Amino acid sequence: MGVATVAVFSEADSNAMHVGLADESYCIGPALLKNSYLNMSAILTIAVASKAEAIHPGYGLLSENAKFASLCEQCGITFIGPSSDTISKMGDKNEARITMKNAGVPVIPGSEIIKDLPQAKFEALNIGYPVMLKARAGGGGRGIRIVRNESELELAFMSATAEARSAFGDGEVYMEKYLFPVKHIEVQVICDKHGNIVCLGERECSVQRKNQKIIEESPSSSITPKIRKAMNEAARKAAKSVNYEGVGTIEFLLDKDKNFYFMEMNTRLQVEHPVTEMVTGIDLVKWQIRAAAGLELDFNEENTPIRGHAIECRINAEDPMDGFRPSCGKISLLHFPGGPWVRFDTAVYQDYVVPPFYDSLIGKLIVHAKTREEAIRKMRAALCELVVEGIHTNTDLHLSILSDIEFFSGAYTTDFLTRKDFK
Amino acid sequence: MFTKDLFKKPKNELESSSKDKKAPAVCIPEELCISCPSCKKPHFKTDVNESSGICPSCGHYFKIGARARIDIIADKKSFIEHDKKLTSTNIIAFPEYDDKIDKAKKESKESEAVITGVCSISGYACAIFVMEPRFIMGSMGRIVGEKITRLFEFATKKGLPVVGYTVSGGARMQEGILSLLQMAKVSGAVKNHSDAGNLYVTVLTNPTTGGVTASFAMLGDIIIAEPNALIGFAGPRVIEQTMRQKLPQNFQKAEYLLETGFIDGIVDRREQKEYLRKVLKIHGGKV
């Protein structure tokens, strides 16, 4: 794109690849996240001093932080993402739910904010057990309790509010019907500043461990063209209702009767965006930056068909044989798979030392083929070609999942990994 | 390991389509960040405001304006201001006093160094005065004395308790003896208020000195202070120079005053509202 880049890094990341790739790089603090990558004043100082016009927040860290987006707005630096207002609206899970309901997007049957136990009892009877208590400021699975009957309600209500208060400083909870088993299906949208909203198909992300996605694929093999159309329509309504700008993802739950419900909106780029890029041919990050610069999208849904099937495996530095213990250290030997439509997104290199401070994701292996079956075969071959020595990775777990009949059938749900005992 | 110049840089010019898009000018608003005078760490102003003007890293108490103080203590939208328009004039033609008043007004956006009125604190009605540090360091001139006196007279008539926040460098020397007279005037009004059986609570904040300490700041039925606040008559440097003696550590600090029995307690800024609620309730406060 010809855009000059400025990288920021922590003391632990001085040998990271992005530091060498960028035109300019600056250290913003010690390894601990709160002192470096979450240090808003340090990041803004670098942005101002280096005359950066925009900040790409990546995913995680400050990417969904309304305060950071607002500070960028105040300083006249473009935050590559939606407005701080949209972020805070979607960050309040209860408000997001109400906004979506009003916009005509199907939401899980549930209540407003619950004030006390009698109200909780009343709402639970209305909704019907099992129900789920959720923190309105929620995230990362905290402040969530599943309640199967009335006897469990009091304890769950008390502990959910207490946990939410200590984790988010806001103890307010609401209630939703607990749906089980479900599939996690999300729709990618991209919106420019000219009112164009384009849906770029869905991703199925039901292979999860502790709410963390491990394998994602696009398109989903379990929805019909009719459901897909309705889901895209709902996603478009959702984006429109908050005047969304940039790339965003609307997450839905699909129940066994093929009803889908709005779960939440991620107001940022997702880790799994490459599968969408593979099936649409759209470079999402490039268009995210262009849209933030005020350019108009030059594609629409009609001229962007979904082609073939793409799968992504998240390669984590962890040891599945030892309770998924994070693994760090020097990579002594590294070999990437290659060939047509095989992509490995990573920032590691031979002799790189994986630091112990950050997320264990070290790479994303993505393949694209004409059919799902061919994509699975291709992924198995690619995983076998991937060699990372010196640290543990979850490559073998991926191979086991890809050889599983249930995964192959496409009928797997979010409890898939909990039920199976992959070694 | 990677070295900085391992990668060649592509010689791609900026995409033609992006060229005509003008980036907004970067402009940093003033006071977006403030640095803590105690721990020197920079903090966003919004963060400091959210924690009631207390440094999120070291707990240092920033000076806060009278309006901000009322926002923290009074119930939302309950504050009704009295004598808003009263303002000082240069009655004894003191040199440069007019400029000083103009500058103070601009800096503090207030017309005088004290704001008075009525409000409710957690539902309990009271009269309140809060001094403004950005207005000539909350110094006490004729109008400060007049406004506080009127507030006490109003509170006596209505049977209301008075809560007073003090921060002051003392009497305003630019008004000469007339400012010193305020000490007696306010004290008289406080006495009448007290004789009528009403409660008076003072909260001493950093710094409360001079004629204010020597009069209404120390006349509260209950006197509390903020942690580490400087409270005294003449400042420690003046005393040290006059007496030619080394003063004890902590001298004139709230903690020292608590130890020596001058004040009744030290209350964290974030807990003052709850403290005042309790005090007002115990002393028969009206909702």
pLDDT band at A415 (very low <50, low <70, confident <90, very high): very high
Range of the domain at B50: 29-62
Quote the CA–CA distance of A276 and A286 in Å, as a whole number. Answer: 13
CATH number of B139's domain: 3.90.226.10
Is B177 in the A-facing interface, judged by CB distances under 8 Å?
Answer: no
pLDDT at B25: 65
Chain A contacts of B1, Cβ < 8 Å?
Answer: 15, 351
In this prediction, residue B90 has a pLDDT band, given cuts at 50, 70 and 90, of very high
Do B128 and B222 reside in the same domain of the chain? yes
Count the neighbouring beta carbons within 10 Å of the beta carbon of residue B56.
15
Maximum separation of any 2 CA atoms in chain B, in Å: 86
Contact yes or no for B14 and A74 at CB 8 A = no
Looking at residue B66, its amino acid is A
Is the separation of the CB atoms in A351 and A330 below 8 Å? Answer: yes
Q: Mark yes or no for CB contact A41/B43 under 8 Å.
A: yes
Are the beta carbons of B18 and A75 separated by less than 8 Å? no
Which of B9, B12, B14, B28 is most worth mutating to test chain A (most A CB atoms within 10 A of its CB)?
A: B28
- Of B147, B109, B266, the residue nearest B203 (C-alpha): B266
Host H or E run for residue A161:
helix A150-168
Answer whether B201's CB lies under 8 Å from B277's CB. no
pLDDT for A169 = 78
CA B23 to chain centroid, in Å, comes to: 42
Contacts of B14 in chain A (CB under 8 A): 1-3
Is B12 in the A-facing interface, judged by CB distances under 8 Å? yes
Per-residue pLDDT at A140 exceeds 80: no
If you ran DSSP here, which 8-state letter would residue B228 be given?
Answer: T
B2 within some domain: no
Domain annotation covers residue B160 = yes
Quick check: pTM over 0.90? no
Confidence of residue A5 (pLDDT cuts 50, 70, 90): very high
Q: In terms of Cα–Cα distance, which of B285, B268, B269 is closest to B277? A: B285
Catalytic residue IDs of A: 268
Cβ-based interface (< 8 Å): residues of A facing B: 1-3, 15, 17, 19-21, 23, 25, 40-41, 47-48, 51, 53-54, 67, 71, 74-78, 290, 293-295, 349, 351
Task: Please say if the pLDDT value at position B224 is more than 90.
Answer: yes
Of A23-37, A269-283, A317-331, B17-31, the range with the lowest mean pLDDT is: B17-31
Side chain identity at residue B55, one-letter code: C
| B86 and B127 both lie in a single domain | yes
Query: Are A402 and A392 contacting, i.e. CB atoms less than 8 angstroms apart?
Result: no
CA B216/CA A250 separation, integer angstroms: 61
**Cβ contact, residue pair A78, B23, below 8 Å:** yes
The secondary structure element, H or E, covering residue A24 is: strand A24-29
- CA distance linking residue B223 with residue B236, whole number of Å: 21
Task: Search chain A and give the residue with CA nearest B2.
Answer: A15
pLDDT for the residue numbered A305: 94
Q: Which of A102, A80, A137, A295 is nearest to B22 (CA)?
A: A295
How many CB pairs (< 8 A) connect A and B? 68
- For B233, phi then psi, to 5°, come to -100, -80
> By the CB < 8 Å criterion, does B32 face chain A?
yes
User: With 90 as the cut, is the pLDDT of residue A423 above it?
Assistant: no
| Residue-wise burial string across B147-174, b where 16 or more C-beta atoms lie within 10 A, e elsewhere | bbbbbbebbbeeebbbbbbbbbbbbbeb
Query: H-helix or E-strand containing A367?
Result: strand A361-369
Tell me how far apart the terminal alpha carbons of chain A are, to the nearest angstrom.
44
Contact B28 A75 (CB under 8 A): yes
pLDDT range class, residue B42, cuts 50, 70, 90: confident
Q: Residue B41 has what pLDDT?
A: 86
Beta-carbon contacts of residue B100 (< 8 Å; ≥ 6 apart)? B136, B174
Answer whether the bond into residue B207 is a cis peptide, omega within 30°: yes
Do residues A315 and B43 lie in contact, with contact meaning Cβ atoms separated by under 8 Å?
no
Residue B76's CB: how many other CB atoms inside 10 A?
7
Assess whether B47 and B128 both reside in one domain: no
Of A75, A290, A295, the CB nearest to B26: A75
Note whether B182 and B131 are within 8 A (CB). no
| Nearest chain A Cα distance for residue B23, angstroms | 6
Nearest of A264, A220, A218 to residue A100 by alpha carbon? A264
Look up residue B87 and give its two tokens: 């303002």
pLDDT for residue A234 is more than 70: yes
B13 to A2: CB separation less than 8 angstroms, yes or no:
yes
pLDDT at B7 over 90: no
Contact list in A for residue B28 (CB cut-off 8 A) is: 48, 75-76
Predicted pLDDT of residue A286: 96
Cα distance between residue A220 and residue A184, in whole Å: 10
Judging contacts by C-beta atoms under 8 Å, the chain A residues touching residue B26 are 47-48, 51, 53, 75-77
Position B24 in a domain: no
B158 touches chain A (CB under 8 A): no
pLDDT at residue A301 is higher than 80: yes
What is the model's pLDDT at position B62?
92
Is the CB of A76 less than 8 angstroms away from the CB of B26? yes
Assess whether pLDDT exceeds 70 at residue A141. no
Return the CATH class of domain A109-177. Answer: alpha beta
Q: What is the CA radius of gyration of chain B?
A: 24
Range A199-218 average pLDDT: 94
- Contact flag B25-A76 (C-beta cutoff 8 Å): yes
Q: Which B-chain residues 41-70 have CB contacts (< 8 A) with chain A?
A: 42-44, 46
Confidence band for A185, pLDDT divided at 50, 70 and 90? very high
Per-chain mean pLDDT for chain B: 91
Q: Would you place residue A244 in the very low, low, confident or very high pLDDT band (cuts 50, 70, 90)?
A: very high
What DSSP letter does each residue of A202-242 carry, written as one string? EEEEEEEETTEEEEEEES-TTS-HHHHHHHHHHHHHHHHHT
CATH class of A183-419: alpha beta
Cβ atoms of B61 and B53 within 8 Å: the answer is yes
CB distance from B23 to chain A under 8 Å?
Answer: yes
Which residues sit opposite B258 in a β-bridge?
none
Query: Which of A15, A71, A290 shows the shortest C-beta gap to B2?
Result: A15
Which residues of chain A does B21 touch, with a Cβ-Cβ cutoff of 8 Å?
293-295
At A201 the pLDDT is: 95
Distance CA B132, CA B65 (A): 6
The reply to whether B142 and B242 lie within a common domain is yes
Asked if A3 lies within 8 A of B27 by C-beta distance, the reply is no
Strands A333-335 and B162-168, sheet pairing? unpaired
The domain locations on chain A are: 1-52, 109-177, 183-419
Domain check: are B58 and B68 in the same one? no
pLDDT score recorded for residue A262: 94
The pLDDT of residue B10 = 85
Closest residue by Cα to residue A401 from A217, A255, A182? A217
Which residues share a beta bridge with B203? B165, B224
Whether B8 has a pLDDT exceeding 70, the answer reads yes
Residues B57 and B183 in one domain: no
Evaluate whether residue B11 is within a structural domain: no
Dump pLDDT digits (tens) for A313-324. 999 999 999 999
pLDDT tens digit sequence for A71-100: 999 888 999 999 999 999 998 888 899 999
**Are the Cβ atoms of A20 and B21 closer than 8 angstroms?**
no
Residue type, B115: I
Q: What is the per-residue pLDDT for A354?
A: 94
Give residue A22's region: left, alpha or beta (phi > 0; psi -120 to 50). Answer: beta
How much of chain A, in percent, has pLDDT values that exceed 70? Answer: 99
Q: Rounded to an integer, what distance in angstroms lies between the CA atom of residue A398 and that of residue A161?
A: 37
Residues B144 and B260 in one domain: yes
What span, in angstroms and rounded, lies between the C-alpha atoms of B142 and B183? 10
ipTM of this complex > 0.90?
A: no
Who among A15, A74, A75 is closest to B1 (CB)? A15
Closest chain A residue to B17, measured at CA: A295
| Contact B242/A at CB under 8 A | no
Token pair listed for A339: 């060939």
d(CA B52, CA A8): 32
If asked whether residues B69 and B44 sit together in one domain, one would say: no
Task: Tell whether omega for the bond before A355 is within 30 degrees of 0, i.e. cis.
Answer: no
Chain B: closest CA distance from residue A151 (Å): 36
Type of residue at A126: N
Q: In this structure, are B77 and B52 located in the same domain?
A: no
Which residue is closest to A352 within chain B, CA to CA? Answer: B1
Q: Is A1-52 a CATH 3.30.420.40 domain? A: no
Task: Write out the two tokens for B208.
Answer: 């409360």
Q: Strand B162-168's sheet: what is its strand order?
A: B80-82, B114-121, B124-131, B162-168, B200-208, B222-225, B265-266
**Domain contains B85:** yes
A76:B12 CB<8 A: no
Terminal-to-terminal C-alpha distance of chain B: 71
Domain assignment present for residue B15? The answer is no
Residue B22 included in any domain = no
Instruction: Find residue A51's DSSP bridge partners.
Output: none
The number of domains in chain B is 2
From the list B140, B269, B121, B282, the residue with the least C-alpha distance to B204 is B269
Do B176 and B221 lie in one domain? The reply is: yes
Residues B55 and B159 in one domain: no
Secondary structure of B160-199 in HEC code, one letter for each residue: CCEEEEEEECCECHHHCHHHHHHHHHHHHHHHHHHHCCCC
Of B1, B2, B26, which has the smallest distance from its Cβ to A77's Cβ?
B26
Between chains, do B2 and A19 touch, taking CB under 8 Å as contact?
yes
B172 shares a domain with B253: yes
Per the listing, tokens 């959720």 go with A134
**Residue A216 identity (one-letter amino acid):** E
Residue A156 CA to residue A413 CA, distance in Å, equals 25
Joined together, the tokens standing for residue B140 give 């006490």
Which pLDDT belongs to residue B14? Answer: 85
